[in-house]
Amino acid sequence: MAETVLETAGLTMRFGGVTASDNVDFKLKARELRCLIGPNGAGKSTFFKCVTGLLTPTEGHVFMRGQDVTGWLPHQVASLGVGIKTQTPNVMDALDVHENIWLAARRFFDVSEARARTADMIDRLALGPIARTELGRLAHGERQRVELGLVAVADPWLVLLDEPAAGLSAADVDRMTAIIHEMRRSAAVVIVEHDMQFIRSIAEVVTVFHQGAVLMEDHVDRVMTDETVRRVYLGKKA
């Protein structure tokens, strides 16, 4: 049976009187892809932040490959070999694409390995034409592609992505999908996403959040046709 790479047990986060994450038990297997969906305020981001170390849960635990990482900071979680893409860009605008990817690779590999991986990533992401362009000058879709490159170049075994398709064109979403599929050859992937078209195109098992708790966890096709999910959380158009 595939190894469980990410698990939460009773994960709870309260902000004053608001229970943003409510006793969430979650399990993800090696090379599994899981989308987290739910309406605004359902608790997806809070769950994501507790898992990535941006927030310390009020109660409960986060385990990665069996290790209790509850309360670890994001850079400590990342040092385990976990790729994290938050909604806040983690790039250096004054440096060019090549330099950004090189720095990300160098955190994990020696000089020659980092050099090879940087070149390979630029090639795979078709970033060659903009390799010497400063990040600050790139279009949104190009930046998102670079940010995914920063995650992928470290060869993570677990990838956590918060709204990777936000604001992307259809062509950029296609590229993003291809990159995610490629990462999945060696990594489990969690994606928090609003874009239903993207979810339909990429998702397998989907976890639906509502009021901080898990409402349903099933294959995307069954989730999309579930009456409760459709009526209450996705709207009739979904």
Ligand X SMILES: Nc1ncnc2c1ncn2[C@@H]1O[C@H](COP(=O)(O)OP(=O)(O)OP(=O)(O)O)[C@@H](O)[C@H]1O
Which residues sit at the interface with ligand X, rule CB under 6 A?
Answer: 15, 18, 20, 38, 40-46, 209
- Adjacent-strand bridge partners of 158: 82, 188
For residues 104 and 208, which CB has a smaller minimum distance to ligand X in the complex? Answer: 208
Q: What 3-state class would DSSP assign to 162?
A: strand
Q: Tokens for 114? A: 């980092």
Q: Compute the least distance from the CB of residue 108 to ligand X, in Å.
A: 29
**Shortest Å, Cβ 81 to ligand X:** 25
Minimal distance, residue 190 CB to ligand X, in Å: 13
State the angle between helix axes of 140-152 and 170-183 in degrees (0 to 180), rounded to the nearest 10. Answer: 0
Closest distance between ligand X and the C-beta of residue 87, in Å? 9
Q: Which residue number, 73 or 166, has a Cβ lying nearer to ligand X?
A: 166
The residue (of 98 and 210) whose beta carbon lies closer to ligand X is 210
Closer residue to ligand X (CB): 127 or 202:
202
Q: At its nearest, how many Å lie between ligand X and the CB of residue 209? A: 6
Q: Which is nearer to ligand X, 41 or 81 (CB)?
A: 41
Alpha-carbon distance 178 to 181, whole Å? 5
Cα 154 → chain centroid = 14
Contact 170, 139 (CB under 8 A): no
Distance (Å, rounded) from C-alpha 10 to C-alpha 37?
19
CB of 230 to ligand X, least distance (A): 18
Q: Which is nearer to ligand X, 40 or 88 (CB)?
A: 40
Angle at CA of residue 15, ends 10 and 20, nearest 5°: 50
Contact 114, 102 (CB under 8 A): yes
> Which is nearer to ligand X, 43 or 156 (by Cβ)?
43
Helix (H, G, I), strand (E, B) or coil at 151: helix
Find out whether 208 and 50 touch, Cβ atoms under 8 Å.
no
Least spacing, CB of residue 36 vs ligand X, in Å: 8
Q: Is 169 exposed, middle or buried (0-12, 13-18, 19+ CB in 10 A)?
A: exposed
